[in-house]
Structure 1
């Protein structure tokens, strides 16, 4: 056969991808179609022969699939085109049932005319190995003078079916701004006072022990080089026996006496000290009752506190409950801890670098701001336990902060805690939250909601959401091929 230029046709296959043969056999051109329809794969070829062949020559064209990843090779029924003499021989052998071909041809044709079209079509059950397989056209030319058999494989197209598309969704994290870390810590000092008196007596009952504990706390805060103390606040509380107005005054005076004691001991600047009295601590009493499972009048006392708004009447009902036995138990067991002072120390924590913050976050996370925690998190690999732990700490320390919620949800999405992330993000109006909700819903299979949130975030300017919307669309298009 004489040598001619290679020629091939471009063909757009039904899978919406452009199929282009990389190499075309000599003296022929072809178009093809590969289409997945449910449980079947349809393949069609139109091969155009350009030149005549000798009378004794024969061309065998065999389409085949090759998947190099799983070492699979599958041949389709070939097309046989023979010169006039060779064609007669083949027909004669077939008439006598003599084996001529290893695989029965789909079509046997006599070569005639200057240009001839060979059409092939196949319907095969779809199998998983076909995904990612290449379509190849094998040619076998025999019978030409001084050439022997010539066998070649020509790549028609790679990946007859595109691989299953796995979208790469991007979650949104927000880098918090650095801030001045104004913090406060509250401590309880259960100072014992003489009934209806407010003077602080250091040697009364166990006051010496309580004051030593207070002293240890204050010294630790004052000697901490990472803190600058800015203010002290003392709040007094009383138990709910006696007159309501008197207890307000009593709690204020007890707070003032505690302030005076601390001022004398530590020389505090009076401009940075304040005190207040809250009077009778009814919320504290209710909490104590609820948390005392062995208290026999728990339900009755809670009902009276919740339903009787008049304080005087409330006290009378409690005092008369079960002939006064309930009140006596509360007076002896539950009321004493309510008589207390709470002292709050406000301070500013210095800024920490990442190495310092990595140490502090597990010991005193309250000294860090969200920006420092975010930098610590990103100093660890994203798939590490440390990365996850830092965001858990951040959302625990700043439970109402929108940025901490969004970042914690992003981490949860990346660690496949989808339901927790969705619950955390509900009600947050921010593009980053909408994008992350879109990712969460996409991963849980709710494509409609995912698209809705991606579009909303993209319209608000989220580049991640625009990317995710494209990924979602590609996945939907890809899935149609395999339906």
Structure 2
């Protein structure tokens, strides 16, 4: 096919102008057909048939045709081996000067004379692929030099404006965020004092009022908010390890039950909401306390505390290993091990779209993850920026929500923000619905082989967008 030719006029001064006037240029016209540029196994393959025209080369001229791949922005280019046609007299002159051998080594083909068999040249060359080659143009740069005066003519013949197809990989459609209520909780540790070997709770004695205030604050925080709904209350009791295990467990469980009765008597809650778990000796907190202390035999004591021995045996060994240190623990650490843990689990009820819209701006943590999408779909369908901002806010509010973070990564990919897209994808656990977006991110970062691996994984998992993206890549070759 015939392609437009862009002539670049040389502003030649003095003697060059005179030479041009003295030497009448022949009509050099070339055309190309069957052009192809493909990517295969990391190599760009360029092929075409070049027709040098009726007049191939004047006897005094050298005609050089060089295929060049030029980046879309013009900042990068790579020249392929040229086709050189020497006029008969020019060939003799180069041979006399010993220039013909070096020329032949660098050229794709060297032709001599204006012979018909030189007119058509089947060209094929390869070059290593580089990311900037996507959407690059393939051009033929043609230069004609004369006998004495150097350059006579230069032109660029554009064969393909976007020679190497740049695949446009698209992120997956928005992942559905389920209508689930985010579990929330308030937790308190209460160090309540009970008389020795008793399980009766005295709220107004022994400093217990201050400890019970912690429990009250958690309950009131949830009960005073009409949007909150209590799901469950968990109470556990812990005893210090001195004494017999069975007795300590009985005390711990009884004291936890006493706290349950305190809650039921002061708050109108159904008994079924409260669960008391079996009490136990608090070896875990004992280990944490000893680990922070500067005491003799600390490592040996920690080894005993963390061993798998029966608890009563561990207690006896602590006394034997360091009697003085044991007394110190008994006075300063053991009282802190006798505690109740209190956890109230609740959810935040669904808000109206109007209220959710306000909370999305003022208190996003009050919304469930899916409610951000209620706001986005109700108020921002025609505002891509605002819609995307809400998607990002949902992920920022719920960093453990894989669907929300996958959608945030999608938004960032559409905006071209690869760094943030990676940040959100890192929060997921590589669930299958994230694989296509991960592939798109890697592709745009230039990690194409790794991107292909994730694309194929996504296709195997049934991702239709991944199939489309692979077809898009196949248009260019791989």
- Work out whether the TM-score is over 0.5: yes
The answer to whether the aligner puts 1:333 opposite 2:338 as a matched pair is no
Do the aligned partners of residues 314 and 407 (structure 1) sit closer, same or farther apart at CA in structure 2, a change above 3 Å counting?
Answer: farther
2:395 aligned residue: 391
Deviation at 1:317, TM superposition (A): 0.8
TM-score in terms of structure 1 length: 0.62
Do the aligned partners of residues 221 and 319 (structure 1) sit closer, same or farther apart at CA in structure 2, a change above 3 Å counting?
Answer: same
Separation in structure 2 between the aligned mates of residue 444 and residue 138 of structure 1, nearest angstrom: 38
Do the aligned partners of residues 122 and 279 (structure 1) sit closer, same or farther apart at CA in structure 2, a change above 3 Å counting?
Answer: closer
Separation in structure 2 between the aligned mates of residue 302 and residue 197 of structure 1, nearest angstrom: 30
Deviation at 1:315, TM superposition (A): 0.9
Separation in structure 1 between the aligned mates of residue 461 and residue 122 of structure 2, nearest angstrom: 50
Contact 1:318/1:327 (<8 A) preserved: yes
Contact 2:169/2:440 (<8 A) preserved: no
1:265 aligned residue: 266
Contact 2:435/2:458 (<8 A) preserved: yes
Written as runs of structure 1 = structure 2, the 5 A alignment for 1:48-87 is 48-49=53-54
- Determine which of 353, 362, 386 is the counterpart of 1:359: 362
1:307 aligned residue: 307
Do the aligned partners of residues 176 and 224 (structure 1) sit closer, same or farther apart at CA in structure 2, a change above 3 Å counting?
Answer: same
Separation in structure 1 between the aligned mates of residue 298 and residue 367 of structure 2, nearest angstrom: 41
1:56 aligned residue: none
2:3 aligned residue: 21
2:159 aligned residue: 157
The C-alpha deviation readout for 1:28-82, integer Å capped at 9, x for no partner, is 884356889x9999987324449xxxxxxxxx9997999895799x9x999899x
Do the aligned partners of residues 230 and 434 (structure 1) sit closer, same or farther apart at CA in structure 2, a change above 3 Å counting?
Answer: closer
1:208 aligned residue: 209
The C-alpha deviation readout for 1:422-445, integer Å capped at 9, x for no partner, is 7954xx5x5324435545665677
Do the aligned partners of residues 320 and 222 (structure 1) sit closer, same or farther apart at CA in structure 2, a change above 3 Å counting?
Answer: same
Match of 2:398, SS state, is helix
Deviation at 1:381, TM superposition (A): 5.5
Separation in structure 1 between the aligned mates of residue 327 and residue 83 of structure 2, nearest angstrom: 99
Separation in structure 1 between the aligned mates of residue 158 and residue 185 of structure 2, nearest angstrom: 73
Do the aligned partners of residues 69 and 472 (structure 1) sit closer, same or farther apart at CA in structure 2, a change above 3 Å counting?
Answer: closer
Written as runs of structure 1 = structure 2, the 5 A alignment for 1:99-248 is 118=119, 131-132=136-137, 134-135=139-140, 157-159=159-161, 162=164, 165=166, 168=169, 170=171, 174-181=175-182, 183-248=184-249
Deviation at 1:190, TM superposition (A): 1.8
Separation in structure 1 between the aligned mates of residue 76 and residue 423 of structure 2, nearest angstrom: 41
The answer to whether the aligner puts 1:46 opposite 2:51 as a matched pair is yes
Unmatched 5+ stretches in structure 1: 1-7, 9-19, 51-59, 82-89, 95-105, 140-150, 478-483
Give the aligned CA root-mean-square deviation in angstroms. 5.8
Deviation at 1:266, TM superposition (A): 2.9
Match of 1:415, SS state, is helix
Separation in structure 2 between the aligned mates of residue 432 and residue 125 of structure 1, nearest angstrom: 38
Match of 2:137, SS state, is coil
Separation in structure 2 between the aligned mates of residue 452 and residue 71 of structure 1, nearest angstrom: 29
Do the aligned partners of residues 320 and 158 (structure 1) sit closer, same or farther apart at CA in structure 2, a change above 3 Å counting?
Answer: same
Deviation at 1:198, TM superposition (A): 2.0
Separation in structure 2 between the aligned mates of residue 123 and residue 468 of structure 1, nearest angstrom: 29
Match of 1:192, SS state, is coil
The C-alpha deviation readout for 1:424-469, integer Å capped at 9, x for no partner, is 54xx5x5324435545665677655543432232133202321332
Match of 2:50, SS state, is strand
Contact 1:23/1:156 (<8 A) preserved: yes
Separation in structure 2 between the aligned mates of residue 374 and residue 338 of structure 1, nearest angstrom: 46
Separation in structure 1 between the aligned mates of residue 407 and residue 297 of structure 2, nearest angstrom: 45
Deviation at 1:373, TM superposition (A): 5.7
Larger Rg: 1
Separation in structure 2 between the aligned mates of residue 404 and residue 387 of structure 1, nearest angstrom: 7
Unmatched 5+ stretches in structure 2: 7-26, 56-61, 94-109, 145-152
Do the aligned partners of residues 160 and 65 (structure 1) sit closer, same or farther apart at CA in structure 2, a change above 3 Å counting?
Answer: farther
Contact 2:186/2:345 (<8 A) preserved: yes
Separation in structure 2 between the aligned mates of residue 406 and residue 299 of structure 1, nearest angstrom: 46
Do the aligned partners of residues 49 and 281 (structure 1) sit closer, same or farther apart at CA in structure 2, a change above 3 Å counting?
Answer: same
Separation in structure 1 between the aligned mates of residue 302 and residue 456 of structure 2, nearest angstrom: 50
Separation in structure 2 between the aligned mates of residue 241 and residue 30 of structure 1, nearest angstrom: 98
Do the aligned partners of residues 181 and 64 (structure 1) sit closer, same or farther apart at CA in structure 2, a change above 3 Å counting?
Answer: closer
Deviation at 1:172, TM superposition (A): 7.0
1:54 aligned residue: none
Separation in structure 1 between the aligned mates of residue 315 and residue 256 of structure 2, nearest angstrom: 24
Written as runs of structure 1 = structure 2, the 5 A alignment for 1:282-301 is 282-290=283-291, 292-301=292-301
Do the aligned partners of residues 22 and 236 (structure 1) sit closer, same or farther apart at CA in structure 2, a change above 3 Å counting?
Answer: same
Separation in structure 1 between the aligned mates of residue 328 and residue 376 of structure 2, nearest angstrom: 50
Contact 1:239/1:338 (<8 A) preserved: yes
Separation in structure 2 between the aligned mates of residue 288 and residue 173 of structure 1, nearest angstrom: 49
The answer to whether the aligner puts 1:469 opposite 2:470 as a matched pair is yes
Contact 1:235/1:276 (<8 A) preserved: yes
